[in-house]
Structure 1
Amino acid sequence: MDTRFLESFIAIVERGSIADAARQLALTPAAVSQRVKALEDQIKQPLLIRAGRTVTPTAAGLAIIEKSRQLIRVVEELKSLASQDEFTGELRVGAISTALTGILPFMLRKFFIDYPQIDLHVTPGQSIKLYHEVLEGRLDAAFIVEPPFAIPKTCGWKRLISEPLMLLVPENCTETNALKILKSHVFLRYDRNQWGGRVADNFLKEKKIFPKEQLELDSLEAIALMVSQGVGVSLLPDWQPPWPEGLKVRKIPVADSPPYRHIGLLWLQASQHANLIKTIDISTKKLKINKITDDKKPL
């Protein structure tokens, strides 16, 4: 089976029309149609339904679309392996939201200069999901929160930055004692299903603090916006800027030696790009915590 037939079929499904797929592939619509017809003849099933200019996959088309994508990826990997050059081909990387804005921008410009033949694909997601996608080989690497357990030997790990836990309060909150604030204000909880949220939860348990919990979210940016609007207070890692603009909040230390959320790079040792991934480094001089305020009265 000619993989060019699969590429044309995938392009039509993703673009929704033969004309758009032809423009993407730099072919004529007639050539793209011929490729799909040849593929249908080989599979002996109709794969597309044509309704005017719109094209949708049949049940058979839907059944093979994901496997077709996987096959194309495997072929590209084989080409890279045959060339004996690990600095070419597709590199699939995942990243949590704060790493997308606070870490990746500092590495991408130099990365593209150093590795111009690498086709980089970045997938956003939560740490737990990205962790499993690396283990299962769907991603080569991911910027995630450090797991609360040992990294398996099939993977490599590099810690990049540590973010201290702090209490985020509205700007008009005049109290500076974190313990009093947690006892008297509505608490917006960083999702305990997330590894970063467990850092905050463990701290509360250790201090035997039981705040008036109102809401539990997995988005740090959303929690910060709600604190700014006076909805409540929250225990969060002091993550890398940028933060949402226009926040009216203060940061209060929770301890002289606070717990930390650690962010790092996880990669699959079996990845063809493992050696390249190991060279990825972020200058800690460029990574700075955006201090909105710093009230020196720890819990």
Structure 2
Amino acid sequence: MDTRHLEAFLGAVDAGSVTRAASMLRVTQPTVTNRIKALERSLGLPLLERLPGGVRPTRAGRSILEQAREILRLSGHVRRIADASLTPQGRICVGASESLINHRLLPLIEYLLVRYPDMDVSLRLSTPQEALVMLHNGEMDCVFMIGSEASDEDLEYCDLCPEPFALVAGGRPGPGRPGPEEAVSSILVSADLDVRHCGGLLDEVESTLRPGRTLRLDSVTAVKRMAESGIGVGLLPEVAVAEDIADGRLRRVVDWRPATATYTQALWRRGDAGHPALDAVLKAASDVVSAD
């Protein structure tokens, strides 16, 4: 089975369009179409349903998605191991949350681009939950997130630097606008937080401050604006709110400090060690992010 056929099929599924898949794979649309048809002939099954606005996998197509991704991942791994030079090169996709991209990873990406010009580093903004799903299915090679542990037996991880969280509220309460203590009792806003990998941090906050309800937002900016407006308090990485606290836009809620230790972590699939590009990213992260 030609892996290029699988790549064309998965590209069309992920993009929802043969045209967009061709652009993503940097080949012509007829090339993608012919490769998909060749795969369908070899399997004797229709894999894509053609729609007016694009394509979607048939039942048969959906049934082979996971295996097709694994075949591509393993074939790429074999090719990289067979490269005798072991020079970091090729495409590697890295996922991270908003606060880490803005405050931790930009020096890392700059370092990689300068040191490894043959590497095509793609940095994708995503929530921790989305990033872990894409890491598992092979759409990402490495994920940076904040956590205290990684209990998934299919993944390996390393702690890069401490990354504590802070509870913040509007820095300048005005008439009719709740102060920090009242805001805590009304709502808790959280972002950049995957409770599965942050121990009991969220439970710790909720049991200590007992908010009326918990609202989860994906956007750090939205969390800060809501906290600044007095709508509630924000649970955010300290690094994401340090400037806002210094400028007086936000302030810490009472004297709360988390008991759960959290860190910026790098996570990758178990068994992917030996991938030159991945090893280069992890080594650079250890040197650059840990020293930040």
Q: TM-score normalised to the size of structure 2?
A: 0.70
2:181 counterpart letter in structure 1: L
Residues 76, 200 of structure 1: CA spacing in aligned structure 2 closer, same or farther, 3 A cutoff? closer
Matched, 1:118 2:122: no
2:188 is matched with which residue?
A: 189
1:232 is matched with which residue?
A: 232
Residues 156, 2 of structure 1: CA spacing in aligned structure 2 closer, same or farther, 3 A cutoff? closer
Answer with 1 or 2: which has the greater Rg. Answer: 1
8 Å contact from structure 1 (residues 91, 121) kept in 2: yes
2:148 is matched with which residue?
A: 147
2:62 is matched with which residue?
A: 62
Residues 72, 228 of structure 1: CA spacing in aligned structure 2 closer, same or farther, 3 A cutoff? same
The CA deviation at 1:113 is 1.8
Matched, 1:202 2:208: no
8 Å contact from structure 2 (residues 148, 199) kept in 1: no
Residues 284, 258 of structure 1: CA spacing in aligned structure 2 closer, same or farther, 3 A cutoff? same
Residues 200, 68 of structure 1: CA spacing in aligned structure 2 closer, same or farther, 3 A cutoff? closer
The CA deviation at 1:107 is 1.5
1:104 counterpart letter in structure 2: L
Distance (Å, rounded) in 2 between the aligned partners of 1:12 and 1:145: 32
2:214 is matched with which residue?
A: 215
1:265 counterpart letter in structure 2: A
Distance (Å, rounded) in 1 between the aligned partners of 2:256 and 2:214: 27
Residues 250, 5 of structure 1: CA spacing in aligned structure 2 closer, same or farther, 3 A cutoff? closer
8 Å contact from structure 2 (residues 186, 232) kept in 1: yes
Can you give the 5+ residue segments of structure 2 that lack an aligned partner in the other structure? none
Residues 182, 116 of structure 1: CA spacing in aligned structure 2 closer, same or farther, 3 A cutoff? same
Residues 97, 30 of structure 1: CA spacing in aligned structure 2 closer, same or farther, 3 A cutoff? closer
Residues 69, 116 of structure 1: CA spacing in aligned structure 2 closer, same or farther, 3 A cutoff? farther
2:264 is matched with which residue?
A: 263
Can you give the 5+ residue segments of structure 1 that lack an aligned partner in the other structure? 175-179, 288-299
Distance (Å, rounded) in 2 between the aligned partners of 1:7 and 1:184: 51
The CA deviation at 1:193 is 6.5
8 Å contact from structure 1 (residues 141, 265) kept in 2: yes
The CA deviation at 1:81 is 0.7
8 Å contact from structure 2 (residues 169, 183) kept in 1: no
Number of residues paired by the alignment? 276
The CA deviation at 1:77 is 1.6
1:282 is matched with which residue?
A: 288
Comparing 116-125 with 78-87, greater Cα deviation is found at 116-125
**SS at 1:239's partner residue?**
helix
Residues 24, 210 of structure 1: CA spacing in aligned structure 2 closer, same or farther, 3 A cutoff? closer
8 Å contact from structure 1 (residues 92, 120) kept in 2: yes
Report Cα offsets for 1:232-253 as digits up to 9, x if no partner.
3345442336989xx9833137
8 Å contact from structure 1 (residues 171, 248) kept in 2: yes
The CA deviation at 1:43 is 0.4
1:80 is matched with which residue?
A: 80
Distance (Å, rounded) in 1 between the aligned partners of 2:31 and 2:237: 54
Distance (Å, rounded) in 2 between the aligned partners of 1:256 and 1:57: 50
The CA deviation at 1:136 is 9.1
Distance (Å, rounded) in 2 between the aligned partners of 1:21 and 1:200: 40
* Identity fraction in percent: 23
Matched, 1:9 2:9: yes
8 Å contact from structure 2 (residues 69, 137) kept in 1: no
Distance (Å, rounded) in 1 between the aligned partners of 2:24 and 2:135: 29
The CA deviation at 1:83 is 0.1
2:109 is matched with which residue?
A: 108
1:228 counterpart letter in structure 2: E
The CA deviation at 1:101 is 2.1
8 Å contact from structure 1 (residues 16, 54) kept in 2: yes
Distance (Å, rounded) in 1 between the aligned partners of 2:26 and 2:132: 37
Report Cα offsets for 1:98-127 as digits up to 9, x if no partner.
112222222212212212333434455555
